[in-house]
Amino acid sequence: MSERKVLVYGANGYTGKLICESLAQRNIPFYMAGRSIEKLEAAKKVIEQRHGNTVDAEFAIASNNPTELRPIFAKVDIIINVSGPFMQIGWPIVETALEQGCHYIDTTGEQDWTAAINEKYGQAFADKELLLCPACSYMWAAGSIASEVVLETQGVDSLDLVYQIDHGLPSEASTKSFLRMVCNDVSQYYLELNELKAWPNDQIIHVSLPHRNAVLGAHPWGGACEPIWYQHDPRVRNCKVVTAMGEHLIGPVIEAIKAFNEHAAHLPQAEREAFTNEMGNQMDSGEPAKDDVDVQRSVIVCHGQGRQVTTTFVMNLSAPYTWTGDICAEAAERILANKLKANGFQSPAKAFGHRELLTRFHERGFISLP
């Protein structure tokens, strides 16, 4: 048995189980960390049922308290954090990872969290030659990969992306994180002429996609992490990202945002976030089934523009949540094999190489090639 150098914090959740399943597929031993031994045991049974075999996992019980985290983080090299909303409960995880000399990966979709941990800890992780890689997940790693393909065309300096998803199934944590973002006046930015500018939170944006005849409704969906990754990149002046999650979700989400704007926008930050958490509880319908490559299909369209050039990459990506589990496991495997391309604050595409990731996930049946 190889050494156990990977810890999944929040392993009993929907995405946590998918990450553990993907680690097991790669024969990577890991710790399943969380607050409840009963929930971790139940999660392991689900993982083993899906995997079709036993998995090499041990349990680690801890809350997000540094005193409880230190002894278990000291045993590993890689922390994969799956507990959100990240801006509310993630700080002790990333801080303890840095303190204990661990590479840090998470599955956030929260733009403000991504910006905040870069500002506070990006240089410190780089100084220790450690990776700080938030949003190692469908949202927003897929767009970082597509963007890097588009930026291969010399002269492109502007990126315009749309994520389109069929039959989207947001988990409870994703729903709460999303609502917190779109109802927060320091979130949801796009990049225009190297400056972050705020999207309105309650407007539907209509998008035309190359693979669909109908015009679809989309939303900034928290602003995405691509504008943060490219904010200080000398190649990029402009970056916008919207998401067409599906008509079954766009309407209810807009109504929830309008309710927040009317009843809670004036409240202090803590009370606003309590309001969005409660809205998330009301919208939650329980843990969704594992997504399916033939049902939850997705396309990421990235347009690139420059002074004398335009180009587009249309990237198919199936089963976004399952792929989130797979890219986290892929990240861990590459770090363990000393294949990390850049440390400090990095997008997954820059940390591991966008062409390498495209090839790997095409082989695994998730992604189309250019």
CATH number of the domain at 48, please. Answer: 3.40.50.720
- The predicted model gives 151-175 an average pLDDT of 87
Cβ neighbors of 200 (< 8 A, separation 6 or more) are none
253 or 100, which is more confident: 100
Mean pLDDT lowest for which of 229-243, 255-269, 335-349? 255-269
Distance CA 10, CA 84 (A): 9
Please check whether residue 370 lies inside any domain of the structure: no
Q: Say whether both 234 and 326 belong to one domain.
A: no
Please check whether residue 264 lies inside any domain of the structure: yes
Mean pLDDT lowest for which of 1-10, 58-67, 151-160, 260-269? 260-269
C-beta of residue 152 within 8 angstroms of C-beta of residue 145: no
Q: What are phi and psi of 236, to 5 degrees?
A: -120, 130
Is residue 57 scored above 70 in pLDDT?
A: yes
Q: Say whether both 20 and 128 belong to one domain.
A: yes
Mean pLDDT (the chain) is 92
- The predicted model gives 181-200 an average pLDDT of 84
> What CATH number does the domain containing 232 carry?
3.30.360.10
pLDDT grade for 86, boundaries at 50, 70 and 90: very high
Q: Say whether both 235 and 183 belong to one domain.
A: yes
β-strand 344-345 against 195-198: which pairing, if any? unpaired
CA 129 to chain centre: 22
Q: Say whether both 334 and 283 belong to one domain.
A: no
Q: Say whether both 12 and 113 belong to one domain.
A: yes
Distance CA 46, CA 18 (A): 10
- The predicted model gives 61-71 an average pLDDT of 95
Is residue 249 scored above 90 in pLDDT?
A: no
Q: Say whether both 52 and 188 belong to one domain.
A: no
Is residue 125 scored above 90 in pLDDT?
A: yes
pTM of the model: 0.93
Q: What is the pLDDT of residue 215?
A: 94
Q: Say whether both 218 and 289 belong to one domain.
A: yes
- List the end-to-end C-alpha distance of the chain, in Å, as a whole number: 38
Please check whether residue 1 lies inside any domain of the structure: no
Q: What is the pLDDT of residue 43?
A: 97
Please check whether residue 312 lies inside any domain of the structure: yes
CB atoms within 10 A of CB 270: 9
Please check whether residue 118 lies inside any domain of the structure: yes
Q: Say whether both 156 and 252 belong to one domain.
A: yes
Q: Say whether both 118 and 56 belong to one domain.
A: yes
- The predicted model gives 144-162 an average pLDDT of 98
Q: Say whether both 295 and 345 belong to one domain.
A: no
Please check whether residue 291 lies inside any domain of the structure: yes
Is residue 34 scored above 60 in pLDDT?
A: yes
pLDDT grade for 49, boundaries at 50, 70 and 90: very high
Is residue 1 scored above 50 in pLDDT?
A: no
Q: What is the pLDDT of residue 39?
A: 96
Q: What is the pLDDT of residue 329?
A: 98
Total domain count, the chain: 2
Query: Which 8-state DSSP code applies to residue 200?
Result: P
Q: Say whether both 350 and 290 belong to one domain.
A: no
Query: Which 8-state DSSP code applies to residue 211?
Result: T
- The predicted model gives 219-233 an average pLDDT of 95
pLDDT grade for 29, boundaries at 50, 70 and 90: very high
Instruction: Mark which of 286, 301, 319 sits at the end of a domain.
Output: 319
Mean pLDDT lowest for which of 134-148, 256-270, 333-347? 256-270
Structural domain for 41, as ranges: 6-137+321-363
Q: What is the pLDDT of residue 239?
A: 98
Give 87-99 pLDDT, tens digit per residue. Answer: 989 999 999 999 9
Q: What is the pLDDT of residue 108?
A: 95
Q: Say whether both 35 and 172 belong to one domain.
A: no
Q: What is the pLDDT of residue 251?
A: 79
Please check whether residue 369 lies inside any domain of the structure: no
Q: Where would I find the H helices in the chain?
A: 14-25, 37-51, 66-73, 86-89, 91-99, 111-127, 138-150, 172-182, 226-229, 247-263, 269-283, 320-336, 348-352, 354-363
Mean pLDDT lowest for which of 125-134, 234-243, 277-286, 358-367? 277-286
pLDDT grade for 285, boundaries at 50, 70 and 90: low
Please check whether residue 42 lies inside any domain of the structure: yes
